[in-house]
A and B are shown apart, each in its own frame.
Chain A
């Protein structure tokens, strides 16, 4: 049976993982390659890496750090941030990533989703979305709006309409990242996660807000997500206690969530 996935998320600045709160105030955690090696040994299911400044600084993604992480990680590895063209995608894949995450760029040029899916297969293209609760209106029938550029810029796009369009264009997975919950350890926004999971047929990944095992279990059951992005709970210095991958998986399995069993 297909199991649910725990995905560790790295916000990388200058080769180091940092931890933000509601997309701001990043504090330093560890070198990306070291943290990747530790989490791989702990049997994390997947790692996603965002070069969070590439887009704002209008530069290419930090390929050296992508390569350094790929050398240590024999589980799937997604990379995002600063990807603008098909050639950028190709370079990141050649550096050892399996999947490309596109977010702000996809809003600016939705055709990049189609191009990526055509060239590398739709499984390669992850559409990441930053969504914020704005209340139901005629403009936003779902009550959620899509933001870009580190949650700074409102797009006027309704979250559900956008993810459906992304799926049509060729996205193979959708990340639902709640701006309101990011780094707060108060739980995923289950309403928008469920709404997205019901709206699309590709796998959906809950993101933003997981602080406890219950939050993760809720995202993977009530939220309808196939995978959960976690970061604070693993390594945020802001939390009093961090949990290991094994601890998390054992607790999820005990709650009836199907997970890849620990090997060895």
Chain B
């Protein structure tokens, strides 16, 4: 059973609809108790970093999720803001994040049209059970003003070009996270979700 974290600033229903289409059983998780029955977790997101962090604290999910992902090393997928909050710090509202992935979140320069909105190519840098099969240049749907900069370049599983090359997929052990909206990236995104659903968290 996949747990989709459901918090005020999130878009859990869209992720749920995508999993339904794939025939993958899931439940919405809004509190620590609901998390216990899950074998994998998806943290979706459409909001701002601070609203997301605050919302996770209000739901008392920060501690159990950290135990889940960082101590128990169970399969975890972050999407969009669900990726950005995994790093140490975000420039969006100057907010401290979860710090599961060392690094920071920065804003695209104003010389570009911000937010970046639309379909852009993702190039994976190595093989990984969750992203294999997407093809060398998979077009995925992005909506972001900020992007992640992991301290360890090995954490960048996918890169994308917008003004300059930025990290669009993070992979660190049992954690995978995409800047693009996998649930809104058509057949390519559904394939990534399908692969995550059968992943045991090892690489």
* B21: chain A residues within 8 A (beta carbon): 74
A254 at the interface (CB under 8 A from B): no
Stretch of B97-105, B137-145, B149-157 at the chain-chain interface? B137-145
Known A93-B46, A123-B46; contact A261-B139, beta-carbon cutoff 8 A: yes
Contacts of A201 in B (CB 8 A): 110, 113-114
B159 contacts partner chain A, Cβ-Cβ < 8 Å: no
Complex contacts, A74 vs chain B, CB 8 Å: 17-18, 21, 183-187, 189-190
Is the contact region of chain B dominated by helix, strand, or loop, or is it mixed? Answer: mixed
Q: Counting CB contacts under 8 A, is A153 at the interface?
A: no
Task: Give chain B interface residues in 20-65, CB to chain A under 8 Å.
Answer: 20-21, 46-48, 51
Question: In the complex, what distance in Å separates the CA atom of A76 from the CA atom of B184?
Answer: 6
Binds A, one of B68-76, B116-124, B125-133, B195-203: B116-124
A76–B113 CB distance below 8 A: no
Cα–Cα distance between A122 and B107 once the two chains are bound (Å) = 13
Assess the A96–B14 pair: CB atoms within 8 A: yes
Residue of B14, B110, B120 near A3 (CB, 8 A) is B120
Contact of B143 among A76, A118, A264 (CB under 8 A): A76
Q: Which residues of B sit under 8 angstroms from A131, Cβ to Cβ?
A: none
- Residues of A60-105 at the interface with B, using a CB-CB cut-off of 8 Å, are 70-71, 74-77, 90, 93-96, 98
Contact residues in B for A158 (Cβ distance below 8 Å)? none
Closest A residue to B119 by beta carbon equals A260
In contact, B46 and A203 (Cβ under 8 angstroms): no
Residues of B within 8 A of A199 (CB): none
A172 touches B187 (CB 8 A): no
Chain A residues in 8 Å Cβ range of B181: 76, 98
Q: Is the interface of A mostly helix, strand, loop or mixed?
A: loop
Count of CB-CB pairs between chains A and B under 8 Å? 115
Q: A70 to B18, alpha carbons, bound, how many Å?
A: 9
Cβ-neighbour of A2 out of B9, B14, B120, B183 (below 8 A): B120
A263 lies within 8 A of chain B by Cβ: yes
Q: Does B174 contact A (CB under 8 A)?
A: no
Are the CB atoms of B120 and A70 closer together than 8 Å?
Answer: no
Nearest residue (CB) in A for B143 is A123
Q: Which of B13, B81, B190 contacts A121 (CB 8 A)?
A: B81
* Contact in complex: B114, A202 (CB < 8 Å): yes
For residue A96, which residue of chain B has the nearest CB?
B13
Q: Determine which residue in B184, B186, B189 has the highest number of CB atoms from chain A within 10 A of its CB, and name it.
A: B186
Tell me if A226 counts as interface (CB < 8 A to partner B).
yes
Task: Assess A75 versus B184: contact at CB under 8 Å? Given A201-B110, A260-B119.
Answer: yes
Q: Is the CB of A98 within 8 A of B11?
A: yes
C-alpha gap A261/B46 in the complex (Å):
25
Residue of B nearest to A204 (CB): B113
Report if A123-B14 is in contact (Cβ < 8 Å); known contacts: A3-B118, A263-B186: no
The CA of A70 and the CA of B139, in the complex, are separated in Å by 21
* Contact with B48, one of A90, A121, A261 (Cβ below 8 angstroms): A121
Q: Any chain B CB within 8 A of the CB of A43?
A: yes
For A197, the closest partner residue in chain B by CB is B113
CB distance from B131 to the nearest CB of A (A): 15
How many Å lie between the Cα of A220 and that of B187 in the bound state? 25
Q: In the complex, what residue of chain B is closest to A203 when comparing beta carbons?
A: B117
- Known contacts: A2-B119, A93-B11, A123-B115. The answer to whether A75 contacts B141 by CB under 8 A is yes
Least Cβ–Cβ distance between B60 and chain A, in angstroms: 21
Q: With the chains together, A95 CA to B185 CA distance in Å?
A: 18
Closest 8 CB pairs of A and B: A260-B119, A123-B143, A260-B139, A121-B48, A123-B115, A96-B13, A2-B120, A203-B117
Starting from the known contacts A43-B186, A263-B139, 20 additional A-B residue pairs (CB-CB under 8 Å) come to A2-B120, A3-B120, A71-B20, A74-B183, A74-B185, A74-B190, A75-B186, A76-B181, A77-B184, A96-B13, A96-B17, A118-B51, A120-B46, A121-B46, A121-B51, A121-B81, A123-B144, A123-B145, A172-B117, A263-B186
Chain A residues close to B by CB (< 8 Å): 1-5, 40, 43, 45, 70-71, 74-77, 90, 93-96, 98, 118-124, 172-173, 201-203, 226-227, 260-261, 263-264
Instruction: List 14 interface pairs A-B (beta carbons < 8 Å), by A numbering.
Output: A1-B121, A3-B118, A3-B119, A3-B139, A5-B117, A74-B17, A74-B184, A75-B186, A76-B143, A96-B13, A119-B9, A120-B47, A120-B48, A203-B115
